[in-house]
């Protein structure tokens, strides 16, 4: 099997949020700490390696983290700080190679082919400069394509480096279980485990043709992954978004419909403004509801037209809220999502818009977006949202990026 003669690096920050906090306060180094949200009901976002060794996991409640690790230090996250450090790292990596891109808030890929750097020299220079400039460590993987480079970061983490040559790529992939291979989802792993397929080598023995017959194009893509094949270069165009979504955990459970509707309007505008800003339109609206017992329900509706308008998304979310008995029980979290996306198309209109003058609302949205882009998000908005105790983007997603449709103007809290 042949691999492109390219040198691709994956730079993966070690426990990124925690490392940024430790760089700001060196007394935290070597101690069990967990970054959490600012509210009492928030969960662990990430934790130090010392805390992980004692059982602290992402998604744990504060109480559970303190139960498994007495003495764990809980630190409210500072999302703007993390975003600023990520943007600074992205700018530095561009100076190493113009063929570089952040793929999440704590991970980047670089193509150093033709830069004059060897993988070894570039990796150790990057590690040194990031530690010197930002006070944090990273792990670097190198290989002939993005998949191999990404998998190589798993070998010597944290603060390590590992390179895989093209001739060793296949045997390297065979050292991993399917569950550890980037790009193979949990449902696929469970499905193949029931068939006695656990490793990359098992999958190749099963055969590409049989996989394609069983799964179609996804089967062919999985075969490529277990064979260590992926795109080599760093794509300039971001991948198409599959959905825009926002959710919010409330300071206290809410029970009244009016309070829920205020949050649904806020969430719908957050989703809508991002879609409008990036020229996306969607047809499917999903409402997510989480109860106090942490049970989560999702309700969806597909519109007959594509839209990025706040009033369409909000109206649909409210109908889903009213039509599924949500109002009868307390709610801990609400989320709104727009999917079934099309990019840079022309939004169609509902019949109601045609009658009531949807063009006027579109001009209003353009005006709101222009003001908020110039003076900051939420400079202008809906009066009913003012009653919400929690406002704005306070939790940063791991998929956040310094630019593009995954960029958000973060609030100071978490």
**H/E segment holding residue 184:** none
C-alpha distance from residue 375 to each of 110, 338, 394, 413 (Å): 34, 26, 19, 19
Q: Which of 195-199, 216-220, 229-233, 242-246 is the least confident region?
A: 229-233
pLDDT-based confidence at residue 277 (cuts at 50, 70, 90): confident
Instruction: Give the residue-averaged pLDDT of 254-266.
Output: 90
pLDDT tens per residue, range 303-362: 988 898 899 999 999 999 998 877 778 998 999 999 988 875 444 455 455 444 455 566
pLDDT above 90 as % of the chain: 43
HSE, side-chain direction, 13 A CA sphere, residue 227: 17
Per-residue pLDDT at 366:
73
For the question of residue 107 being annotated catalytic, the response is yes
Which region, left, alpha or beta, applies to residue 314 given φ > 0 means left and ψ of -120 to 50 means alpha?
A: alpha
382 pLDDT higher than 90: no
The residues that bridge with 109 in the sheet, in sequence order, are 10, 101
Task: Confirm whether pTM is higher than 0.75.
Answer: no
Yes or no: say if 149 and 141 are a contact pair by the CB < 8 Å rule. Answer: yes
Per-residue pLDDT at 373:
67
Per-residue pLDDT at 334:
93
pLDDT tens per residue, range 387-414: 777 666 555 555 555 555 455 554 544 3
Per-residue pLDDT at 388:
75
Helix, strand or coil for residue 240? Answer: coil
Q: Which of 7, 50, 107, 229 is catalytic?
A: 107
Distance CA 66, CA 34 (A): 10
24 pLDDT higher than 90: yes
Per-residue pLDDT at 73:
95
Q: Which domains does the chain have, with CATH numbers?
A: 1-166 (3.30.70.270), 174-226 (1.10.150.20), 243-406 (3.30.1490.100)
Per-residue pLDDT at 392:
64
pLDDT-based confidence at residue 69 (cuts at 50, 70, 90): very high
Distance CA 111, CA 133 (A): 22
Per-residue pLDDT at 348:
47
**Where are any strands of DSSP class E within 239-357?**
243-254, 280-290, 296-307, 331-339, 342-343
Instruction: Give the residue-averaged pLDDT of 262-278.
Output: 89
**Is pLDDT larger for residue 172 or for residue 59?**
172
Instruction: Give the residue-averaged pLDDT of 46-62.
Output: 92
């Amino acid at each position: 099997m042949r691999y492109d003669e390219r040198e691709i690096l994956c730079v993966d920050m070690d426990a990124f949020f925690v490392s940024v906090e430790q760089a700001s306060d060196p007394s935290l180094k070597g101690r069990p700490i967990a970054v959490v949200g600012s509210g009492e009901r928030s969960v662990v976002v990430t934790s130090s390696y010392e805390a992980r060794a004692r059982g602290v996991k992402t998604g744990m409640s504060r109480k559970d983290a303190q139960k498994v690790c007495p003495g764990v230090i809980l630190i409210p996250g500072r999302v703007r700080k993390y975003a600023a450090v990520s943007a600074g790292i992205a700018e530095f990596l561009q100076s190493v190679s113009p063929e570089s891109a952040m793929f999440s808030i704590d991970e980047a890929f670089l193509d150093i082919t033709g830069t004059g750097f060897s993988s070894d020299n570039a990796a150790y220079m990057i590690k040194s400069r990031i530690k010197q400039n930002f006070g944090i460590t990273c792990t670097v993987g190198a290989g002939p394509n993005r998949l191999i480079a990404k998998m190589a970061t798993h070998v010597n983490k944290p603060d390590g480096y590992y390179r895989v040559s093209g001739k060793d790529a296949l045997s390297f992939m065979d050292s991993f279980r399917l569950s550890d291979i980037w790009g193979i989802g949990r449902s696929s792993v469970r499905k193949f485990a029931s068939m006695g397929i656990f490793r990359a080598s098992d999958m190749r023995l099963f055969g590409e043709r049989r996989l394609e017959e069983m799964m179609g194009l996804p089967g062919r893509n999985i075969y490529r992954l277990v064979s260590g094949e992926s795109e080599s270069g760093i794509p300039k165009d971001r991948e198409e978004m599959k959905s825009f979504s926002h959710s919010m955990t409330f300071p206290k459970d809410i029970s009244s419909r009016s309070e829920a509707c205020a949050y649904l309007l806020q969430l719908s505008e957050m989703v809508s403004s991002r879609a409008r800003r990036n020229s996306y339109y969607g047809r499917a609206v999903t409402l997510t509801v989480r109860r106090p017992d942490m049970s989560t329900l999702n309700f969806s509706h597909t519109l007959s037209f594509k839209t990025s308008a706040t009033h369409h998304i909000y109206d649909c979310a409210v109908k889903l809220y009213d039509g599924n008995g949500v109002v009868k029980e307390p709610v801990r979290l609400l989320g709104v999502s727009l999917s079934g996306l099309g990019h840079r198309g022309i939004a169609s209109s509902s019949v109601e818009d045609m009658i009531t003058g949807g063009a006027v609302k579109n001009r209003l949205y353009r005006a709101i977006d222009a003001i908020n882009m110039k003076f900051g998000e939420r400079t202008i908005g809906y009066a009913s949202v003012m009653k919400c105790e929690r406002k704005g983007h306070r939790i940063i997603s791991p998929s956040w990026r310094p630019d593009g449709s995954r960029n958000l103007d973060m609030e100071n809290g978490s």
